[in-house]
Structure 1
Amino acid sequence: MLRRRAGSSSRAATTAARLSAAAAIGYLVVGLVAQLATPAADRAELFASPEPTVGPAMAVVGAVLLGRGNRVVQLTTLIGCSACVYAGSVGLAAHGFAGSDDPALVFRVAAWLTLWTWVPSFLSFALLLPLFFPDGRLLSRRWRPVAAMAVALIVVTSLLTAFTDIQPEGGQPPNPVALTLPEAVLDVVEAVLDPLLPALALLASASLVLRFRRADPQGRRQIAWVGYALAVAVLASFVAPPPLNVVATLAVPVAIGIAVVRYRLFGIDVVLNRTLVGTALLACSALVYVAVVGWLGGLAGTADTVVGLVGAVAVAAVFHPLYVRIQRAVDRLLHGLRGDPHRVIAHVTQVLRDAASPRRALAEAVATIAADLKLPAVSVRVDRPDALPVVESVGEPALAVHSFPLRWHDDVVGALHVARRVGTDALDPLDVALLGDLADQLAAVGFALRLATDLERSHDRLVSAREEERRRIRRDLHDGLGPQLASAVMALDVATRALAQEPGRAAPLVTTARGQLQEAVGDVRRIVHGLRPPALDDLGLVGALQATGPGLLADQAGAPDIRIEGSGELASLPAAVEVAAFRIAQEAMTNAIRHAGAKRITVHLDAGPDGVGIEVDDDGRGCPDDAVPGLGLQSMRDRAAELGGSCRISCGPGGGTRVSALLPLRVGGPG
């Protein structure tokens, strides 16, 4: 029950404060209208002080944020309402006293309000706001006396200016309700107030500096803007003449706006959006009204009802276009281009199209998403089989807790991770939908990065295989053919010398050299056959397979039935494709005979316009699912991958094993 009553009381107080802010702004509008209706010679210098501009801005912001339990919001509302009352009273008093020595009571009250309503606004602005900014709490208990003295100074100064003839600003009209106090008392009060005000202002600024030094990075960003603006505004209020003091004071609401908008000072989003739109729309509408009424009033020489009606019609005419443009500008300020998803997708598409590589495309796309949607952190991860994942990020990756999978057909190639905006609890549904579409775009890049990784790995294997082949040939030449030839040369040298002295010894030496040379010729043929089987040049691909398949086993008992057939233009294949097809088919037949115990083997080669298809079927024991690929199976896959093709080993349709390979005719092209 107590909590319910406390909540009802708090809501009632918030409602009352908001109504007060609305009434203060309305009073300011009446004062501005009265100012325009006053003859130019009798008008007050209303805009020589910042209250007419700072007042409504702070009153609106404070009224919208009320109820959040923050003293800074309450102070903002108080400053705004007090400033609006002061500015409206100045306009009404000038209008009432223009050409009249005995104005109506309402104008006399307005003149009295001009004497003291600026005090709560100015002193709260200079003393209390720095003490409580940004979280609404004092820096520590030690600052309570300073806050108490500041509050006491505001109350005492307000009462003195309202009910005595003490006027710190000077140039004020006589106070109609002034109490008579001894001059000695007034002198003592002025002697105390004059040094106390700047001393408390310096202490309040020192509190803000200490708070800045102890704050975290986010708090420092919030304090820095407002702290600098407050220091400049307070200093300018003491030493700078108009309009410099007005410009300096206007820096404070601007800085608060930056702290709230950019760094989410009060943890709001929707309320902030509506506040900014409403404040900007109110200000623009007021400017249009004042401009039209002032211009027509100057032409007509009077501000009658018709001029006011024309001003109202002008405001109504521009209201909707202004609202649309201001809402769009505020949305972009807070959420980037979230409201224009086609533009975001177009930006990302252009980045992906113009990037020099898939990895560069990911990095630039992540930066574009973060900038266009004003997200504090964006990260994308692409998973690569048998390799470390590729990660590109902007901001702090640990903050990116919302994940969107990168789906390419039925495969998930990675994930897009984003962080929610500061001061929000979750991503907006518009963000979720747009980021899902962007993840689909990035999936294609992730798949391309996987292909590039596979191609790079295949290239590395190709280079490694080439170097291994060179090492083997060097070893064969150095350890086999070289010594044979050297031995044959030495035998022939000895035979040459023996012909002159012992002819009988020459013949056996020549016979030995001849045998060594024959062995060398055999090694040369073996090396050449390892590089490229001569049968391919003599018999073609199908003939070479028939010669090395059935031809080798035809005379053996229990030899399997091997059928080799081909179709298409197999005679004009590139050399690398022809050798790869021969080795893959030969290895598949060898495995079927040695390991599967096959009795029937069928090899079919089909040359198409884009590649060569190879299918080797056998009726052997098949390939178990948990079998570990040996060197033979891996070599078939590597040979296909080196050319940008593919090789797959699976169970045959009627049992046994099927080896299916596809080799593109353009070496290194896509498989």
Structure 2
Amino acid sequence: MVDRSGGRGNPLTSGLRSVSVRGEVDGPVVEERAVPGSRATVVARLSAAAAVGYAAVGLAAHLATPAAEREDLFGSPEPLVGPAMAIVGAALLGRVPGHRVLQLMTVIGCFACVFAGSLGIAVHGFAGSDDPGPLFRIAAWLTLWTWVPAFVSFATLLPLVFPDGRLPSHRWRPVAMAALALIATMSLLTAFTDIQPEGEQPANPVAIPLPGGFLDVVQTVLDPAVPALALLGLVSLALRFRRADPQVRRQIAWVGYALALAVAAAFLAPAPVNVVITLAVPVAIGVAVVRDRLFGIDVVLNRTLVGTALLASSALVYVAVVGWLGGLTGSPDSLVGFAGAVAVAAVFHPLYVRIQRAVDRLLHGSRGDPYRVLGRVTEVLRDAAAPRAALARAVATIAVDLKLPAVTVQVDRPDAPPVVESVGERALAVHAVPLHWHDDVVGTLHVAHRPGTDRLDPVDESLLADLAAQLAAVGFALRLATDLERSRDRLVTAREEERRRIRRDLHDGLGPQLASAVMALDVANRALGHEPARAVPLVATARDQLQDAVADVRRIVHGLRPPALDDLGLLGALQATGPGLLPERDGAPRIRISGGGQLSDLPAAVEVAAFRITQEAMTNAIRHACAQHIAVRLDGRRDAVGIEVVDDGLGCAADSPAGMGLQSMRDRAAELGGTCRISAEPGGGTRVSAVLPLGGDR
């Protein structure tokens, strides 16, 4: 059996949070959760309060015992870990009622408190007396067996079912049953037999006489059972860690490592070392709760941290003030205590405000200071070199400032793959916030819930909505940058195609014509000396070829810039060429071309673009929309030229793909930094509206 005498090698390794051993581990587990304030929660809290009070009585008895006769009460961690587990487990049951892990924490903590309190009381009663009263004998009897349900449960069951309170699989059910049987058997044997040699401790007053050989055999069988089952529990914990998702791994990591060290130290390390190592378990619980919200206790944790820090700070203020005034007056009195209370009252609210802000930053980042978060994101967006870099830095800032596990921004681009910037694991980002820009949704902001929670707080949602408004502007800018880049690519392509066309026209058309004319003139020149009559038709042929070449040059030049623009101006050129689009037949559509403002002395690029856009719009209305009336209006402004072409034709569907003509109009406008919109008229027909900037004041 395990020796629980003076230098105990089995500290009551503090309970973590995970044990709920039930037979139905191989199927869906349905936990019966009590509602807050139910009988089970009340019983757990009352039991924890009674056990902690009993431990405090034992500690007082220990301090009242003469130093020479005191037992080493702190040779094992029960006096420290037991109250912590009992209090934490009972307190958290109010937040997560009916959680089997928290229930086990409370049970282990209560038994640890009973063992620690009984040891202090028994040592005090037996000090200097061979016949203590019944109360001290009962306390001595409790020290014989109360360590079993605490330590053995911790060493065997806790690793087996941590952290969700269920076995890894049904294959581990025999191990769990063996651990439960071991706890029950050892508790009964240590409580009602003399199986455990306790050195100078008094004999068990209720021991049932059994043959010594039988007890030796039982002890030989049970001694290796505890370490064997503890080892199996650690193996199950390691397997669970390997198969778990990242969230559960983070929950297991801190407490799992501390638990493994504590179990190993319980069997291998001497008393001072195993006590220190065991105390790492509650520390790991605190880290896991703070960092990974193991039980989803944000509210309880927040209030607990604030209350503890506020209580400690107030106590320090009170002690400092009372000590200082007591030193000045020479002796403490009621006035000094009153002054200390007044000082605490004076600093209480400022301390509370500062501590609450610090705790909020610890748990939720800068959520409590939304203007700071918005300011940081605004600064990041302003300083970024490009829209995509701005998105990436903004996502990182949001994740850090709000302490969110994962943040993703997706900007949707028409006819292009979406742009995605993320921090953390994208699969965790399940809460979506749309990025609205005017009447359009340009993308989505996805964020993950904080660990241990299944939703965001209203404060988070409100702040994320404000941040989404800022990101929407960046998303729209990214869309514009994408459109501009594609327009630039199309313009470059169109320019190269135009160059190729001109080269082909010059090489295949004008070049051979000129070469043929030169050859004809050479022949005519040679014939003039010998056969003048033969030179006449050759010169005529050369003349015809040169006339064709001149026509080709005019055609090429007209393609580059219509000569009518130089002769008649923009408005006149359109009025001269517009009717020329019509076939010579009855029923042709009526075209009305008008203009206003300053339309002379326009930049050449603007003039050509306006002419081509207007011509293309009229051509589409005649050939494709079967329009009967076409109204063209040019407006020469100080900084731009406005174009409107309205027809009463068939119109165009909003979702119809843009043809080469429509896309060409948009590209010509985009090349100058302007816009070109094609929309359907309410009564039928199509409206083409273009604005071409002039690039400076005229």
Out of 456-465 and 495-504, give the one that drifted further: 495-504
User: What one-letter code is carried by the residue in structure 1 that aligns with 2:520?
Assistant: A
Amino acid at match of 1:59: A
**Cα deviations by residue, 1:441-463 (Å, 9 ceiling, x for unpaired):** 22112211221122122212211
- Assess if the C-alpha contact under 8 Å between 2:669 and 2:690 holds in 1: yes
2:300 corresponds in structure 1 to 274
Q: What is the CA–CA distance in structure 1 between the aligned matches of 2:45 and 2:650, rounded to whole Å?
A: 80
Q: Distance in 1 between matches of 2:115 and 2:346?
A: 31
Alignment partner for residue 173 of structure 2, among 122, 141, 146?
141
1:483 maps onto 2:512 in alignment: yes
Corresponding residue for residue 81 of structure 2: 54
Using the alignment, how far apart are the partners of 1:569 and 1:470 within structure 2? 29
Deviations 1:535-573 (A, max 9, x none): 4445544454455558999x99999685544423741x3
The answer to whether the 8 A contact 2:409-2:445 is kept is yes
Describe how 1:221-370 pairs up with structure 2 within 5 A.
221-260=250-289, 262-265=291-294, 268-269=295-296, 271=297, 273-275=299-301, 277-278=303-304, 281-282=307-308, 285=311, 328=357, 331-370=360-399
Give the one of 633, 636, 650 matched to 1:606: 636
TM-score norm. by structure 2 comes to 0.76
Distance 1:87 1:99, change over 3 A: same
Task: Provide the rounded CA distance (Å) in 1 between the counterparts of 2:190 and 2:337.
Answer: 39
Choose the corresponding residue for 1:453, options 482, 486, 502.
Answer: 482
1:166 and 2:197 are equivalent in the alignment: yes
Shift of 1:129: 2.0
**Would the alpha carbon gap of residues 542 and 82 (structure 1) be closer, same or farther in structure 2, given more than 3 Å must change?**
same
The separation in 2 between residues aligned to 1:439 and 1:561, in whole angstroms, is: 48
Instruction: Name the amino acid aligned to 1:360.
Output: A
Q: Distance in 1 between matches of 2:106 and 2:59?
A: 20
**Matched-pair contact (CA < 8 Å) for 1:647–1:662:** yes
Whether 2:51 is the aligned partner of 1:24: answer yes
Evaluate the alpha carbon distance shift between residue 127 and residue 562 of structure 1 in structure 2; reply closer, same or farther with a 3 A threshold.
closer
1:81 equivalenced with 2:81 (yes/no): no
Q: Pick the aligned partner of 2:412 from 383, 407, 416.
A: 383
Q: How far off its partner does 1:391 sit? A: 3.4
Partner amino acid for 1:443?
A
CA contact (8 A) 1:646 1:662 kept: yes
SS at structure 2 position matched to 1:24: helix
Cα distance, 1:512–1:275 mapped onto 2, change above 3 Å: closer
Instruction: Report the CA distance shift for 1:274/1:33 in structure 2 as closer, same or farther (over 3 A).
Output: farther
Matches within 5 A, 1:159-238: 159=191, 166-167=197-198, 174=202, 177=205, 184=212, 194-212=223-241, 215=244, 218-238=247-267
Secondary structure at 1:136 match in 2? coil
Specify the code of the residue in structure 2 equivalent to 1:450: R
CA contact (8 A) 1:273 1:331 kept: no
Cα distance, 1:397–1:7 mapped onto 2, change above 3 Å: closer
Contact persistence 2:36–2:97 (CA under 8 A)? no
Distance 1:156 1:646, change over 3 A: same
Q: Which moved more, 1:462-471 or 1:34-43?
A: 34-43
CA displacement, residues 201-237 of structure 1 (integer Å, 9 cap, x when unaligned): 3343344345445655554444443332222112222
Q: Deviations over 1:61-110 (max 9, x none)?
A: 22134475454323311222233344455666788899999999877876
Amino acid at match of 2:300: R
Stretches of structure 2 that go unaligned for 5 or more consecutive residues are 1-31
Give 1:418's aligned residue.
447
The answer (yes or no) to whether the contact 2:404–2:450 under 8 Å persists in 1 is yes
Q: Which residue of structure 1 aligns with residue 549 of structure 2?
A: 520
CA 1:479–1:182 in 2, change beyond 3 Å: closer, same or farther? closer
Q: Which moved more, 1:141-150 or 1:489-498?
A: 141-150
Q: 1:582 maps to which residue?
A: 611
Asked whether the equivalents of residues 281 and 326 of structure 1 are also in contact (C-alpha less than 8 Å), the reply is: no
1:164–1:179 CA contact under 8 A, matched in 2: no
Q: Which residue of 1 aligns with 2:461?
A: 432
Instruction: Say if 1:390 and 1:63 are closer, same or farther in 2 by CA, change over 3 A.
Output: same
Query: Distance in 2 between the 1:631 and 1:425 partners?
Result: 51
Moved more, 367-376 or 506-515: 367-376
Q: CA deviation at 1:137?
A: 3.9
User: Retained in 2: the 8 A contact 1:416–1:439?
Assistant: yes
Task: State the identity %.
Answer: 66
Name 1:500's counterpart in structure 2.
529
How many Å separate the matches in 2 of 1:309 and 1:29? 26
Higher mean displacement: 276-285 or 394-403? 276-285
SS at match of 1:420: coil
Do 2:314 and 2:348's aligned partners in 1 also have CA atoms closer than 8 Å? no
Equivalences, count: 648
Q: How many Å apart are 1:120 and its aligned residue?
A: 3.7
Which residue does the alignment assign to 2:90? Answer: 63
Q: Give 1:542-553 correspondences, 5 Å limit.
A: 542-545=571-574, 548=577
Pair 331,399 (structure 1): closer, same or farther in 2 beyond 3 Å: same
Distance (Å, rounded) in 2 between the aligned partners of 1:174 and 1:546: 122
Q: Give yes or no for contact 1:289–1:311 (8 Å, CA) kept in 2.
A: no
Query: Which residue does 2:182 correspond to in 1?
Result: 150
Amino acid at match of 1:25: V
Distance 1:133 1:546 in 2: 86
Change in 2 beyond 3 A, CA 1:240/1:160:
farther
For residue 426 of structure 1, give the secondary structure of its aligned residue in structure 2: coil
Instruction: Please state how far the C-alpha of 1:434 moved relative to its aligned partner.
Output: 2.1
Give a deviation string over 1:167-210, Cα, whole Å, max 9, x none.
2xx6x665695869799467667655544443343343344345
1:534-549 alignment to 2 at 5 Å?
534-537=563-566, 540-545=569-574, 548=577
The one-letter amino acid of 1:416's match is L
SS of equivalent residue, structure 2 residue 279: helix
Which secondary structure state, in structure 2, belongs to the residue aligned with residue 639 of structure 1? helix
Report if the CA contact (8 A) 1:127-1:150 is conserved. Answer: no
Deviation at 1:43, TM superposition (A): 7.6
Amino acid at match of 2:598: G
Q: Give the C-alpha shift of residue 406 in structure 1.
A: 1.6
Cα displacement (A) at 1:431: 2.5
CA separation of 1:7 and 1:145: change in aligned 2, threshold 3 A: closer
1:472 matched to 2:501: yes
Would the alpha carbon gap of residues 492 and 43 (structure 1) be closer, same or farther in structure 2, given more than 3 Å must change?
farther
1:146 Cα deviation after fit: 2.2
Q: Which moved more, 1:239-248 or 1:598-607?
A: 598-607
Residue matched to 2:39: 12
Equivalent pair of 1:400/1:419 in contact (CA under 8 Å): yes
Q: Which amino acid aligns with 2:438?
A: H
Letter in 2 for 1:526: R
- 434 and 30 in structure 1: CA distance in 2 versus 1, 3 angstrom threshold: farther
Contact in 1 for aligned 2:75/2:272 (Cα 8 Å): yes
Distance 2:74 2:65 in 1: 15
What amino acid maps onto 2:84 in structure 1? A
2:433 aligns to what? 404
Secondary structure in 1 aligned to 2:265?
A: helix
Output the amino acid matched with 1:253: P
Alpha-carbon offset, residue 262 of structure 1: 4.6
Shift of 1:115: 6.1
* Counterpart contact for 2:676–2:690, Cα < 8 Å: yes
Distance across 1 between alignment mates of 2:539 and 2:677: 54
